Structure 1
Amino acid sequence: MASRAVVPEQPRVRGEKPKNLQAEGGRNRRALGDIGNLVVAPIVEGKPLQTKIARPITRSFGAQLLANAQAAVEKNNGKKPLVEAGAVKAIPSKKEPVKSKNQRLVEISPDEDDVSNKNSGRKAKEGSSKKTGKTFTATLTARSKAAYGLPKEPITDIDAEDSNNELAVVEYVEDMYKFYKLAENDARVQDYMGSQPEINIKMRAILVDWLIEVHKKFELMPESLYLTINIVDRFLSVKKVSRKELQLVGISSMLIACKYEEIWAPEVNDFIAISDNAYVREQVLVMEKTILGELEWYLTVPTPYVFLVRYVKASTPADKEMENMTFFFAELGLMNYSTIVPYCHSMLAASAVYVARCTLNGTPVWTETLKHHTGYNEDELMECARLLVSFHSGVSENKLKAVARKYSNPERCAVAMFPPAKSLLPV
């Protein structure tokens, strides 16, 4: 590799403008001599040799200019030429070149080819004209970063009002719901319709619609309804049931749920009477024992109701209208096989809250508090939420009216009469 040769640059007369300023349409650019792209002849007898460059300095042309400069130096000082066979080589000399006060050294390093030399010269010109100050884009970027770093919406402490309520177990409630989220998959219902030869999705919807009417007739706790549906689905997922025994499974599941949740549970005769004496006492008791055996007495499960209570509380400010609207969508989800199977209970509950807020025009629709307590973003809930809105839109055409009648009552704020949030439906 050839080493770099040092050539003194031609001194510039004070007040004289460089000729290169005439290029580029008269724009204010630095002279080529300032960026190391101009080869100037050495000074001979105190007079600088004027070397006018009319073409780009390629490798061969740069070597030629350097050879001419070194020949002049050799002629005046009696030294050997430093250029051999077209290559630029520097021969070390004991004597160093004398530098004048108005001269500075310019290093010339031949490039690999002519094209790269042209490109490097162009980049050097462009780089010399850039300002060192901050650009407008940089200022906007800095401001955007500052705005992005602003604190987010604060998370509301939804348990602050219950700090003195011992039944609210404020100290343990967060840990309890973390456990519920972990345990909900154990009680999650798998797709079982393919294994049931005599039961289809429509029959299940009819059974759930009737159980909602029975639950309302007996004035039971809401926990009993959600546990009843969970027991029915879990049992059907592990045991084949004939069509004539499907209603028997329903009343036996509700009997088990009432014994688990209610203080005063309905008697067996009450369920026989509500089913129009379609079964006898022994059949109900046998089916009850069969269900408990298949489920291995596993009844302590986090149903959608467990999450609904917590998520409604996190939907601040919560009122009766918001609460009833949420339970309306949750029960619509219970009736439909397409929501109770694909989505876990916590997601169904969170989607019910989300659609309720959209229907009631809550602003914002999804808060940081809800995101914190549910663990879901809006995008994660959108698919299930659209299904719930479609169920709401088809309430008037659906022949199963138990949920619609229940939530059309003024005591429940008649939330079923509200127009559906069609903005969530795809166009």
Structure 2
Amino acid sequence: MASRLIAPQRENNGEVKQKTVIADGRNRRVLQDIGNFVNERAAQGKNPITEGVGAVAQAVKGGGRAVTKVVAAQRKVGDKADKPKPETVIVISSDEKTEESRPVSRREGSSRKEVKTLTAILSARSKAACGLTNKHNDSIEDIDGADVGNELAVAEYVDDIYKFYKLTENDCQVHDYMDLQPDINAKMRSILVDWLIEVHRKFDLMPETLYLTMNIVDRILSMKVVQRKELQLVGISAMLIACKYEEIWAPEVNDFVFISDNAYAREQVLAMEKAILDKLEWYLTVPTPYVFLVRYIKASIPSDDKMEDLVFFLAELGLMQYPTVVLCCPSMLAAAAVYAARCTLDKSPLWSETLKHHTGYSEDQLKSWAKLLVKFHATAAESKLKAVYRKFSSPDRGAVALLSPAKSLLPNHHGE
């Protein structure tokens, strides 16, 4: 379509009247190659972009007339140039197009997985400079090798993350606090945990939520005197906080009021939630046993669903017992659960170099705690608190609670 130009025209009385005229297009030039496809010059090894820049640079050195000559020469070439043959155009499109419709713009065989980040390159150079590349132990398997292309697995940083967890786990671990609580005891705590596990299962919450809930409960009990009638209130308020931290869709306050049989009002739950957060100074990003469990299960090669379910069963049995939580740090509890599970399933070896490397614990360091977890397993069926036992007796958990406990770790085995 021809563009319309507004040309001023003066009338006899001196007034200016605008007149619309149609441009004939003689001064307009058809748009030529803008560099978005490969033309004949590029096929011959010449780069039209660099040539143009070089020509303009030379013209600038020669002064304004040279620039005019270069531009005029380019216009003549453009006017005489034949219409380029249609070739494959690389188009930046949306993700709706399939891979087959997109032409390959790089050399064959290249992929995103082969691209290394700057962090990976610097880490490799640092290890090489320190002589660590030649000290690799062949008996330690690379458990993160399959996750190199998965950005969510952060394979380059995962070792440093868990080193940080190990350094900070003592900051959030509670010590013996029952002497500070005149109205509650360890048995009452176990009853509360048993009920919270039932609530956790009823709401179908994430496993991270349960471990964070118990961490909050123990930390607040170690810092604040709680009356017996408020112990359940502390439990549901702690779970409410953990749900808001871990869950995508957290249960509402009224859900917790209902599941506690209306023992507390909505305002009481909110007030306790605020009191807990104030006391903890909003410190909720803590390494619970769960973060170590998922890592150590991954290092337990070979691992399957039964192994995973059994490890979580033993860990939750330990979570219910006050002495275990108070005296055993989160990483030790997780490693002991993995060791006890491997003994229960007769894995060989019982403790590998890979597990020793990633957990930082030897077999001798874990035996006493693993024996305690196996003892809890052996007595779970007869215990009055059966929430964990019922949970892991169901088929969806592989019914691992029904397995025979590890005989090698039970008392009076081989004279123990």
TM-score range, shorter chain: 0.5 to 0.7
Q: Gaps spanning 5+ residues in structure 2: where?
A: 1-135
- Aligned residue in 1 for 2:78: none
- After TM superposition, the structure 1 = structure 2 runs for residues 198-347 of structure 1, keeping only pairs within 5 Å, are 198-347=183-332
Instruction: Give deviations 1:301-337, integer Å, cap 9, x for gaps.
Output: 0000000000000001110000000000000010001
Q: Is the 8 A contact 1:308 1:349 kept in 2?
A: yes
- After TM superposition, the structure 1 = structure 2 runs for residues 46-125 of structure 1, keeping only pairs within 5 Å, are none
Query: C-alpha distance in 1, partners of 2:340/2:229?
Result: 37
Pair 1:426 & 2:415 matched: no
Query: C-alpha distance in 1, partners of 2:369/2:219?
Result: 21
Instruction: Give deviations 1:261-301, integer Å, cap 9, x for gaps.
Output: 00100000000000000000110000000001111110000
Query: C-alpha distance in 1, partners of 2:137/2:158?
Result: 24
When the two chains are superposed, the root-mean-square deviation of aligned CA atoms in Å is: 1.0
Query: C-alpha distance in 2, partners of 1:373/1:243?
Result: 41
Rg (Cα) greater in structure: 1
Instruction: Give deviations 1:123-161, integer Å, cap 9, x for gaps.
Output: xxxxxxxxxxxxxxxxxxxxxxxxxxxx97610100011
State which of 349, 355, 363 in structure 2 corresponds to 1:378.
363
Query: C-alpha distance in 2, partners of 1:310/1:355?
Result: 16
Q: Is the 8 A contact 1:355 1:388 kept in 2?
A: yes
- Aligned residue in 2 for 1:189: 174
Residue 227 of structure 1, CA deviation: 0.0
State which of 343, 353, 356 in structure 2 corresponds to 1:368.
353
- Aligned residue in 1 for 2:391: 406
Query: C-alpha distance in 2, partners of 1:223/1:341?
Result: 19
Query: C-alpha distance in 2, partners of 1:382/1:240?
Result: 35
Q: Which of structure 1's runs of 4+ aligned residues deviate more than 2 A?
A: none
Query: C-alpha distance in 1, partners of 2:410/2:200?
Result: 31
Residue 415 of structure 1, CA deviation: 0.2
TM-score by length of 2: 0.66
C-alpha spacing 1:153/1:386, structure 2 compared with 1 (3 Å) = farther
Q: Gaps spanning 5+ residues in structure 1: where?
A: 1-150
State which of 394, 398, 401 in structure 2 corresponds to 1:416.
401
Query: C-alpha distance in 1, partners of 2:215/2:257?
Result: 21
Residue 424 of structure 1, CA deviation: 1.1
Residue 387 of structure 1, CA deviation: 0.7
- Aligned residue in 1 for 2:336: 351
2:249 maps to amino acid? W
Q: How many residues align?
A: 277
Q: Is the 8 A contact 1:253 1:288 kept in 2?
A: yes
Query: C-alpha distance in 2, partners of 1:251/1:279?
Result: 10
Query: C-alpha distance in 2, partners of 1:313/1:266?
Result: 31
State which of 145, 159, 173 in structure 2 corresponds to 1:160.
145
Instruction: Give deviations 1:152-203, integer Å, cap 9, x for gaps.
Output: 7610100011111100000100000000000000001111011100111110
Query: C-alpha distance in 2, partners of 1:249/1:153?
Result: 49
The 3-state SS of whatever aligns with 2:327 is coil
2:189 maps to amino acid? R
2:212 maps to amino acid? L
Query: C-alpha distance in 2, partners of 1:227/1:276?
Result: 23
Residue 422 of structure 1, CA deviation: 2.6
Instruction: Give deviations 1:90-116, integer Å, cap 9, x for gaps.
Output: xxxxxxxxxxxxxxxxxxxxxxxxxxx
Residue 423 of structure 1, CA deviation: 1.4
Residue 338 of structure 1, CA deviation: 1.5
The 3-state SS of whatever aligns with 1:341 is helix
1:237 maps to amino acid? S
1:161 maps to amino acid? A
Q: Is the 8 A contact 1:153 1:368 kept in 2?
A: no
Q: Is the 8 A contact 1:198 1:242 kept in 2?
A: yes
1:186 maps to amino acid? D
Pair 1:170 & 2:170 matched: no
Query: C-alpha distance in 2, partners of 1:396/1:216?
Result: 19
Query: C-alpha distance in 2, partners of 1:424/1:311?
Result: 20
Instruction: Give deviations 1:205-240, integer Å, cap 9, x for gaps.
Output: 000000000000000000000000000000000100
Instruction: Give deviations 1:2-29, integer Å, cap 9, x for gaps.
Output: xxxxxxxxxxxxxxxxxxxxxxxxxxxx
Query: C-alpha distance in 2, partners of 1:267/1:425?
Result: 44
1:180 maps to amino acid? Y
Residue 426 of structure 1, CA deviation: 3.5
